[in-house]
Structure 1
Amino acid sequence: TIDFPEFLSLMARKMKDTDTEEELIEAFKVFDRDGNGFISAAELRHVMTNLGEKLTDEEVDEMIREADVDGDGQINYEEFVRMMMAK
């Protein structure tokens, strides 16, 4: 299993050259598969699975909770940027 700090460092490694606004927007779009401006638990699980990380529902929910500043159960762009910059 992977915990949230490990997830962040994994993402930071994959994106260590990704600090421009443009690249962050592109990365967000990869997660936000339906384009609604939010990353849901299902979208996060899908991307993590594609990255080779098999996560339980609990792990995905925990990752959402860690990044979800406004408590709406999903990750918006601002929360995503904050999460990615927290590396």
Structure 2
Amino acid sequence: MAHEMSPDQIEEYKKAFSVFDKDGDGRISTVDLRALLGSLDQKPSQALLEDIITGIDAICDGTIKFDEFLKMMTTKIDYSNTVTDEGLRDAFRVFDRDGNGFITATDLRQVMINIGDKLTDEEVHEMIREIDTHGDGMVNYEDFLAMMAQE
């Protein structure tokens, strides 16, 4: 079952939910979910989207409210220790947009824009600096793994 979350974690999830709630109606529909997944270069079928929502839609209205979203996110946290190497590589590839084996400031900025988080250049560079162990301004897969292990 899901573990207790801090108020800061809940606030982070509220912000994420508002990004996913593209039309601002307080719910994530299949259209909202498609937009989110599309920003991550994933193109699921309508049937798959409906299956995802059906799996977490407690009142069966075809949408996900914040409490359902929160439950989904806490469940994901509970299973985070079972993340596979392939899953981590897939996550790395989402950020490594040009496929060169490194996450650059440009790559990070584009992903953040796609999910609705517009960061300043300084914020993007600071994020890279915090993760980059080689001081070359780029995050390689090993840097990415080290960051994921800290979370």
Normalised by the length of structure 1, the TM-score is 0.79
SS of corresponding position for 2:118:
coil
Partner of 1:29: 93
Q: Which has the higher contact order (CA 8 A, sep 6+)?
A: 1
1:6-58 CA deviation, whole Å, 9 max, x = no partner?
9xx87xx6x74452111000010111011110000000000111122110000
1:44-81 CA deviation, whole Å, 9 max, x = no partner?
00011112211000000000000001111100000011
Please provide the CA RMSD for this pair.
Answer: 2.1
Normalised by the length of structure 2, the TM-score is 0.47
- C-alpha distance in 2 between matches for 1:23 and 1:50: 20
The counterpart of 1:69, out of the listed 128, 133, 136, is 133
| CA drift at 1:84 | 1.4
Structure 1 or 2, whichever has the larger Rg, is 2
Uncovered stretches (5+) of structure 2, i.e. residues with no partner: 1-8, 14-72
Once the two structures are aligned, what percentage of the paired residues are identical? 57
- C-alpha distance in 2 between matches for 1:20 and 1:70: 25
Uncovered stretches (5+) of structure 1, i.e. residues with no partner: 1-5
Partner of 1:3: none
- C-alpha distance in 2 between matches for 1:34 and 1:52: 20
Partner of 2:84: 20
Partner of 1:41: 105
The number of residue pairs the alignment matches comes to: 77
